[in-house]
Amino acid sequence: MIITEKINIQRTKHSRLSEVDFNNLTFGSIISDHMVVSDYNNGEWGASSIMPFGNISISPTMLALHYGQVVFEGMKAFKMKDGSISIFRIEKHYERFCKSMERMCIPAMSYEQFDEALKALIELDSAWVPGSEGASLYIRPFVFASEERFGVKVADEYKFIIFTGPVGPYYANPLKVKVEGKYRRAAHGGTGSAKCAGNYGGAFYPLQLARKEGFDQVLWTDATDDLYIEESGTMNVFFIIDNVIITPPLSDSILDGVTRDSFITLAKGMGYKVEERKIGANELVHSFQKNIFQEAFGTGTAAVVAPIQTINIAGKDYNLPKVSDNSVSMKIKQQLLNIRIGTAPDKNNWNTIIKL
């Protein structure tokens, strides 16, 4: 048993579990029964509580609504073949969460409190973890400035919440993407490496424009004329060119993706050559022209691996070979899934196992 006496737990009297069709899960619309809540006041984080999921009361003057001190994480838990539950890479997610909070001037919570509350919540709502192929329990920890004041300042009060929800695949089909040459997701010195809310809000407008043109996502580029690729929509991006897996190097304008890191580790362990280096739109075009461009895909907690079918560069569509189970990206994705559900050895100790 994970649930600890240190956490005050108020169990729901009206579970919504029976209302869920686990055979038809959409992404982001179903929420599990409980949530974790903790408040930061007087220079320290208070004890965590678990309570029924529900609305919270906020003031119109709450600082997060005006000045954007909001940071979140995306994590997943999986039903293993033996019936236990694995939470994937808690320490790596916590590390990124803390880096994002530091960039947004939000005080960090201790790893012990984060870990303890997270595991207690997943154990309590273990019945919400789906067992069907491709499904998982999405976990959303987030923190925001809750101080009630409208003057511009770094807040002195914050609220931390974790909620969860069962999800199916994020993307059902391979993507058609556009290299974005006008708008930028982030620039060096900005908040691109932080998982803060404003990064996503600022990306909506160019994404809307791209979708009106028939694209699913954009390939974000740096703020230079070289159009070096940085990310794909809300994901890190990979290209396979002439049998080499290439992904842009991490910087202060690129999010340090947990799935990205996992994918690189597995790819190297499976014998693939991986290069973390700059790659621009012109190199992509030349690779298409030489017929050595084999695959492109995004990686992220939500999507896991999202194959890219078409890349539009300067108004011209370039089509990639059809993805199959033998594609490199799909082989590595399957290996990642096997580790998460316990059918392959967890050599890197990524899984935190909850025995029920």
- Please check whether residue 157 is in contact with residue 146, taking contact to mean a CB–CB distance below 8 angstroms: yes
The highest-level CATH class for domain 8-169 is alpha beta
User: Measured between alpha carbons, how far is 205 from 22 in angstroms, rounded to an integer?
Assistant: 33
pTM: 0.96
Percent of the chain with pLDDT over 90: 93
Q: What is the pLDDT of residues 242-281, one digit of tens each?
A: 999 999 999 999 999 999 999 999 999 999 999 999 999 9
Q: What per-residue confidence (pLDDT) applies to 331? A: 98
Q: What per-residue confidence (pLDDT) applies to 133? A: 85
Mean pLDDT, rounded, for 119-133: 96
Sign of CA dihedral 326, 332, 335, 337: negative
Q: What per-residue confidence (pLDDT) applies to 241? A: 98
Sign of CA dihedral 95, 97, 98, 100: positive
Q: What is the pLDDT of residues 100-109, one digit of tens each?
A: 999 999 999 9
Q: What per-residue confidence (pLDDT) applies to 284? A: 98
Is the pLDDT score of 3 beyond 70?
A: no
Q: What per-residue confidence (pLDDT) applies to 256? A: 97
Residue for token pair 């790893």: 111
Q: What per-residue confidence (pLDDT) applies to 1? A: 59
User: Measured between alpha carbons, how far is 142 from 155 in angstroms, rounded to an integer?
Assistant: 16
User: Measured between alpha carbons, how far is 199 from 189 in angstroms, rounded to an integer?
Assistant: 13
- Please check whether residue 333 is in contact with residue 103, taking contact to mean a CB–CB distance below 8 angstroms: no
Which CATH number is correct for 175-341, 3.20.10.10, 3.40.50.720, 3.30.70.3270, 1.10.10.10?
3.20.10.10
Annotated domain spans of the chain? 8-169, 175-341
User: Measured between alpha carbons, how far is 2 from 11 in angstroms, rounded to an integer?
Assistant: 16
